[in-house]
A and B are shown apart, each in its own frame.
Chain A
Amino acid sequence: MSDATAAGPTAARPGLLGRAVVRLVVGVSVLYTLLPVLWLVLAASKDRDALFGSDLLALRDFSFVQNVRDLFAMDGGLYGRWYVNSLVYAVLGAALGALISVACGYAFDKYRFRHKEKLFGLVLAAVMVPQTVLALPLYLMASETGVVNTFWAVFVPVLFNPFGVYLGRIFSQGYVPGEVLEAARMDGAGELATYFRVALRMLAPGVVTVFLFQLTAIWNNFFLPMVMLSEQDLYPVSLGLYAWNSAATTSPEYYPVVIMGSLLAVVPLIVAFLLLQRFWRSGLTAGSVK
């Protein structure tokens, strides 16, 4: 038995030297991706003098808890505001956006109507359009309607997720067999009732995948809030940290709070990815299926 298995795979595997090289390259790459994050963790747990002393690995001058307190006390607790804002923009926006996109993708998959593929082509084209191109017109539209510098100016545009429609169509093809819908129709169920009671449950993993993609995108969003918002109370974390970093160039007491603020801003996405990891993998492969 061992002979049979050894003849197959090991022949395709690299030799001893090759294996060492492979491990070295992968190891160095992992260090490259991990070390900056490790630096962030270490730097966030140091007091300000130690931060500039660059003696990061020493275990003294540890002031993680104090730094967290400083962060939430800075500028009258602005950071807490930003954090809540980001959570609302991202979690609500991604949940609503994912439901909207997947419903549309499902309709693209299951129904026939004239010019369907042309409309779908338009949706795909929307994936390509740079955000910077849309920002100025969106800003002018928001000013016209008086929503500029409000919650809605950021929240409504982030709901738009054409890539989610594309994924929704693929998931609908894969997860919702036509026979199930036929059976529901035979039973006399209405089309929408069928969607919400039967199809949506089957599409749930797809919805979670789109949610995760959109959550990341909105949490990352920086350009749109920067254009739309002037009131600091409405900022998401990304824009707030940008503003504080700009302040740090003249008043260095902002450096520790920016560093600690950055560390805490990374946490939600890591939690989301760990909790939902089996979903995003399916999304990644779906994206490359033709």
Chain B
Amino acid sequence: MTTTTPPVTPTGAPRAPGDGARPAHRVRKVARRRELGACAALMTPFLLLLTLVFLIPVGTAVWLSFFQEDQPGLGFGPERTIFVGLRSYAAVLTDPTFLAGLGTVALYCLVYIPLMVVGALALALLLDAGVVRLRSWAQLGLFLPHAVPGIIAALIWLYLYTPGLSPVIELLGRADITVDLLGVHTVLPSIVNIALWSNLGYNMVVFYAALQAVPREVIEASTVDGAGPVRTALQVKTPLVRASIVMVAMFTLIWALQLFTEPMLLSQSTPMINSRFSPSMYIYDAAFTRNNYGLAAAASVILLLFTIALSYGVTRWTGRAGANEEAAR
């Protein structure tokens, strides 16, 4: 940190403007310049990446969304790019397959996020209650799926959903229960299950680490007040790890909105998942199957705006809830 005291003359009087640089001031100025140089050197590699991999692509996506490739003369004429304004946006927003995809992801979020947050928090609180033997082994076991790449998690579960391969379906079959885990109504819960399996342990560890940081005196105080273990967990510990809950909910939401890998893999095996099942799959399909860049770009920008709006909403909402809570105390 550099000192921020204003430059003063050796006699202690404030320096008058136009007084000329004093040696001390010049030394400080040189030091400041050297610092800024070092700062720039340390930041440049990342800022280059930020520009190349983030700013230019986002700008390109926005730019592309206002243009369309047009081939006059029944597609035999020379290709040209024409400005179409908001027409691509209108096309996306009136496309029933895009809206259906948006609906699918909304439903997916509504089922998945509460299950994930509540499940991971509950497990962390149970482990924190201190009655589970082999606690670190339980944690390791729960965390294991995080080391399994998403596509492989999807592969494992796809095989566990596939009749003939799956011991689960086999077992259920012996009990005369036939389920089609990749049917119309089961395919979304099946995807939720894959995501839950992959991330439950990771988020549990996040919550558990936060719970470990809760001062023991606070918990002892609530015990002295006569609160049982359940009440201590819900009314004392849970509010204290709110920052972690918000963070987990945010990241889960951002990832959930991008839903792509699992349905993409499952679509190889079930006709219930079409190529525009989620907005991300819609973008992929528009860009790389239909080669309609304007449409894909418009859908991308819409997905981006949704993500920003929802994340902003979550922070605002939890911020307000937190403020109310503080006020209530």
Contacts and interface: CB of A to CB of B under 8 A. Distances in A.
Interface of A: 8-9, 11-14, 18-19, 22-23, 25-26, 29-30, 32-34, 36-37, 39-40, 43, 51-52, 54, 56, 100-101, 103-104, 106-108, 110-113, 122-123, 125-141, 156-157, 159-160, 162, 165, 178, 181-182, 185, 190-192, 195, 216, 219-220, 222-223, 227, 237-238, 241-242, 245-246, 249, 255, 258-259, 262, 265-266, 269-270, 272-273, 281, 284-285, 287-290
B177 to A, nearest CB: 16
Contacts of B130: 9, 13
B149 A12 contact: no
A12 B229 CA distance: 5
A271 to B, nearest CB: 9
A29 B301 CA distance: 39
Given A12-B232, A104-B45, A128 B53 contact: no
B286 to A, nearest CB: 9
A22 B123 CA distance: 9
24 contacts: A11-B223, A26-B126, A30-B142, A43-B165, A101-B46, A110-B1, A111-B39, A130-B307, A132-B260, A133-B300, A133-B304, A134-B53, A135-B283, A135-B284, A135-B287, A136-B296, A140-B64, A140-B293, A141-B57, A216-B147, A259-B159, A281-B205, A284-B209, A288-B244
A290 B244 CA distance: 10
Given A9-B130, A130-B307, A241-B155, A123 B50 contact: yes
A126 B149 CA distance: 23
A34 B34 contact: no
A7 B67 CA distance: 72
B92 interface: no
Contacts of A185: 31
A255 B162 CA distance: 12
A265 B144 contact: no
A232 to B, nearest CB: 16
B132 interface: yes
Given A136-B297, A138-B57, A141-B57, A156 B52 contact: yes
B84 interface: no
A267 B173 CA distance: 33
Nearest to A103: B42
Contacts of B205: 281, 284
B223 A8 contact: yes
Contacts of B164: 52, 54
